[in-house]
Structure 1
Amino acid sequence: MCRGLATLPATCLKSAKDIKHKISFLLQKPEPHSADQKQIKEEKAAAAAASRVPTAAEMEKWKESFSHVMSSEMGRTVFTKFLKSEFSEENMDFWIACENYKVSTPSKMSTRAKKLYQQHVVADAPNEVNLDAATREDTRLNVQNACPACFNEAQKMIYTLMEKDSYRRFLKSKLVQDLCRTCITSDVKKNTNCCKHT
């Protein structure tokens, strides 16, 4: 022990050790929970998908129907990028959160339902989605007895909103046109056909 510390009273040394212990405890990184790990995994997958260019075949499928966009990880990633440009990404966030909620363990369902409701459904929520009053109220009542289907109507309404509204603009967007040009260039190099223009 250095001479300076040796001259301090024992109570000061004990206080210093307590403070050191508290600081080291605060500096420890918490272990991520399984839900956090799943979110981290999804974010990494989305980042990987975002760096990949869709194929012509994928893009043709997206043009056929909105369900093809939503059933494709790459499609959801590109569509989310478009929604961000329109400041409406909360719709996709809510839809994905509902999908994740449905596979929650029964013990966590009630907590997750309340969190999802507070995040997206309640009036003035941080990421509020556009629901009519009746659906909002039905969802509020459903959350009180949380089950896998308690967000079904709200999720369906947001899906329909994205399909009828955002999806049409998505197909005509500069983002999709640029991706089409990229896949045309890529396919010319491969000597194959590519996207037809929208």
Structure 2
Amino acid sequence: MCKGLATLPATCLKSAKDIKHKISFLLQKPEPQTADQKQVKEKTAAAAKRVPTAAEVEKWKESFSHVMTSETGRTVFTSFLRSEFSEENMDFWVACEDYKKTAPSKLATRAKQIYQQYVEADAPNEVNLDAATREETRQNVTNACPSCFTEAQKMIYTLMEKDSYRRFLNSKLIQNLCQTQTAAAEEQKEKKNRGCAENRQVLTGGA
């Protein structure tokens, strides 16, 4: 990642901007986009505009569920997946979440789209499912209901948690975020101390 972060610049503002620009760059990297991928990027655009707080980063390090329940967490994790060429896992997971909210009259059409995009053999963005789950999902799609992707979604969630998430925790991306937040906390502390010292001087001078 940015060289400047490794040496912790004089101010945290520059570090924060470096992180934000890196994430934004990864999210906006030119590449063919499916409707699902475009939708994910639109939904996470706002989250990509800000640097996560120290508390958020610490939460992500506690468990994968904290990453997935955080809009910013999913944005940062997606940028990591993109660096590993496995972004389709998050795209599929998000597509499944959205599918559950699909109107009954549109379930069949949407189920077929998701299946053809991510599940069937040689799909454009095929996710890594075992043969049994793939076949079960194929059969479910023929009689579409809100839960027809449940097992496939669980499998991909587990794959991300057991595989990608572990590498994510040791990645430069997380390390740099932690360094940035540590520097930010130190600068905030220094500002607070300076403010207290100045207030004491004012009070003493006025006595």
Q: Shared fold by TM > 0.5?
A: yes
CA contact (8 A) 1:113 1:146 kept: yes
Q: Secondary structure at the match of 1:191?
A: helix
Structure 1 pair 177–157 and aligned structure 2 pair: CA distance change class (3 A): same
1:83 to 2:81 alignment: yes
Residues 39, 122 of structure 1: alpha-carbon distance in 2 compared, 3 angstrom cutoff: closer
Alignment of 1:132-143 (within 5 A): 132-143=130-141
**Which residue does 2:6 correspond to in 1?**
none
Partner of 1:29: none
Aligned match of 1:14: none
Describe how 1:67-82 pairs up with structure 2 within 5 A: 67-82=65-80
Tell whether the 8 Å contact from 1:121 to 1:129 is kept in structure 2 after alignment: yes
Letter in 2 for 1:110: A
Task: Give the gaps of 5 or more residues in structure 1.
Answer: 1-37, 193-198
Aligned-partner residue type, residue 164 of structure 1: K
The sequence identity of aligned pairs, in percent, is 72
Aligned to 1:169: 167
Give me the CA root mean square deviation: 1.9
Look up the match of 2:146: 148
| Structure 2 unpaired stretches of 5+ | 1-35, 191-207
In the other structure, the counterpart of 2:176 is: 178
Is the Cα–Cα contact under 8 Å of residues 53 and 183 in structure 1 kept in the other structure?
no
> Which of residues 88, 104, 107 in structure 2 aligns to 1:106?
104
Amino acid corresponding to residue 131 of structure 1 in structure 2? L
The 2-side partners of 1:40 and 1:129 are apart by 18
Counterpart of 1:80, as a letter, is T
- Match in the other structure for 2:114: 116
TM-score under structure 1 normalisation?
0.75
Change (3 A) 1:45 1:141: closer
Letter aligned with residue 186 of structure 1: A
- How far is the alpha carbon of 1:42 from its aligned partner? 5.6
* 1:55 pairs with 2:62: no
Residue identity matched to 2:155: M
CA deviation after TM superposition for structure 1 residue 153, in Å: 0.2
Q: 1:93 aligns with which of 86, 91, 94?
A: 91
Q: Is the 8 Å Cα contact of residues 40 and 94 (structure 2) preserved in structure 1? A: no
2:52 match: secondary structure = coil
Whole-angstrom distance in 1 between the partners of 2:45 and 2:165: 22
Task: Please identify the structure whose Cα radius of gyration is greater.
Answer: 1
> Relative contact order (alpha carbons < 8 A, sep ≥ 6): 1 or 2 greater?
2
Residue type at the aligned position of 1:163: E
Per-residue deviation at 1:189? Answer: 2.1
Q: How many residue pairs are counted as aligned between the two chains?
A: 156
